[in-house]
Amino acid sequence: MNIAQYMPVKIIFGSGSLNQLGEIAAQYGKCAMLVTMPWEGVQKPAFIQAKDLLEAAGLRVVTYDKVVPNPTTTTINEASIIAKKEQVDVMIGLGGGSSIDTAKAIAVGATHPGVAWDYVYTEKKTANSSATLPIIAVTTTSGTGSHTTKYAVFTNPDLKVKSTIVNEAVFPKAAIVDPELMRTMPAFVSATTGFDAFTHAFESYTNIHANPLIDQLALVSMEIIVKTLEKAIENPDNLEYRTLLATADTLSGICIANVGTTLPHSIGQPISGKCPWVSHGQSLALVYPEFLKFTQSACIEKFAKVARFFNSALENVSDDIAASELSNEVSELQKRMNIYTSLKELNVPKSMINDIVRDAVLCPDTYVNPRIPSAEQVKQMLDNMWETS
């Protein structure tokens, strides 16, 4: 069955929607595990509110607040043991993609033989839908789309490999998208997660498996991000901008859930897999200028359409010229948002480039890009990313 769109997640969207957490979670049992980053950050009020709401709905709450960016098997395995011991009924990931992906992986790890890593697609074991704990995603960033996907991405630090559970069992039962929670998001997080959402829409739109239905969602998402992200960074507390970006993130999440990502993710994932201090969104921002230059000749019309969201003056030039401007437009946006960078600036060792190339050419995302690079061409792109020009 060649599905163009399937989205079984009940999406609770809008200002104040966090208030529904208790009611929703209570449908799935008596004990919830609340999975978050450490509680002392900007999200502390949201964590406390979530815990209170769950307890008010009669649930026992087990908190696990050791989520790390680019989540690891170390934390996931530790939390899975706790979830099993505490007989958790429902997993709640509250935070950005790292918290949600950690909750998803625990939902598998706590209910299956072995550990969560055994169920990433590269290990070829399949999680059982009915065994996997139900998951509720509460997203506090506008970027990863994880609240709408059947993917959980995490890293095995022993192998220095980042991989993904791909299974309908980890589709959240419900996703709460409350723009109020996004008003305290720092500028760098807004920029990198917002850019991540842009990449989801862009890569679904230009994917060789793109479909006309999802294309429309991708276009809406990209137009919102290009026209709103900088304004939200300048006015972090503005609820209208936060709501628009949450919409863009959710729509682009639906895009990747149904079509999927391409070459930037196959190069970006090993970078943050091997260098966990590089966030997922930052790794994509790094890759984009070179990826766009490499790919543009293979996808002129779509590149041109997106370029015109950045610069309406490009309405008056040919598709060829507009498409060739996209890399510059993206670089300029990145510069204005302070996320334009290089491998050197990100402290990625030069010696690691060959390993990144090897992982990238093994990744299936590479082969749905409109132009498929050889290993040498991936290496050339990475060499070009060494220093900013």
Site residues (CB under 8 A) for its own copies? 1-14, 17, 20, 23-24, 174, 177, 211-213, 216-217, 219-220, 224, 243-244, 247, 250-251
Residue with Cβ nearer its own copies (197 or 224): 224
- Identify the CA nearest to 173 among candidates 133, 228, 233: 133
Length of the chain, in residues: 389
CA-to-CA separations, 261 to 82, 93, 151, 196, 291, in angstroms, rounded: 33, 23, 12, 11, 13
For the CB of residue 340, give the shortest distance to its own copies in the complex, in Å: 29
Strand pairing partners for 92?
Answer: 34, 136
* Vertex 264 angle, CA 97 and 6, to 5°: 55
Residue with Cβ nearer its own copies (243 or 334): 243
Residue with Cβ nearer its own copies (253 or 264): 253
- Identify the CA nearest to 317 among candidates 305, 327, 333, 328: 305
Whole-angstrom distance, CA of residue 147 vs CA of residue 143: 10
Q: Is 235 helix (H, G, I), strand (E, B) or coil?
A: coil
Residue with Cβ nearer its own copies (143 or 264): 143
Whether the CB-CB separation of 201 and 217 falls below 8 Å is answered with yes
Residue with Cβ nearer its own copies (31 or 220): 220
For the CB of residue 243, give the shortest distance to its own copies in the complex, in Å: 5
Question: How many Cα atoms are found within 13 Å in the side-chain-facing hemisphere of 378?
Answer: 26
Residue with Cβ nearer its own copies (154 or 309): 309
Residue with Cβ nearer its own copies (61 or 219): 219
For the CB of residue 123, give the shortest distance to its own copies in the complex, in Å: 27
Residue with Cβ nearer its own copies (7 or 187): 7
For the CB of residue 301, give the shortest distance to its own copies in the complex, in Å: 12
For the CB of residue 185, give the shortest distance to its own copies in the complex, in Å: 18
For the CB of residue 339, give the shortest distance to its own copies in the complex, in Å: 25
In sequence order, the 6+-apart residues with CB closer than 8 A to the CB of 300 are 319, 320, 323
Q: What is the separation of C-alpha 350 from the centre of its chain, rounded to a whole number of angstroms? A: 26
Residue with Cβ nearer its own copies (63 or 211): 211
- Identify the CA nearest to 125 among candidates 134, 135, 113: 113
In sequence order, the 6+-apart residues with CB closer than 8 A to the CB of 259 are 203, 204, 207, 209, 210, 211, 214
For the CB of residue 310, give the shortest distance to its own copies in the complex, in Å: 19
Residue with Cβ nearer its own copies (192 or 247): 247
Whole-angstrom distance, CA of residue 326 vs CA of residue 1: 35
**What's the token pair of residue 205?**
């739109």
For the CB of residue 194, give the shortest distance to its own copies in the complex, in Å: 16
**Letter for the amino acid at 186?**
P
For the CB of residue 203, give the shortest distance to its own copies in the complex, in Å: 19
- Identify the CA nearest to 112 among candidates 76, 138, 67, 158: 76
Whether the CB-CB separation of 119 and 81 falls below 8 Å is answered with no
Whole-angstrom distance, CA of residue 309 vs CA of residue 297: 19
For the CB of residue 2, give the shortest distance to its own copies in the complex, in Å: 6
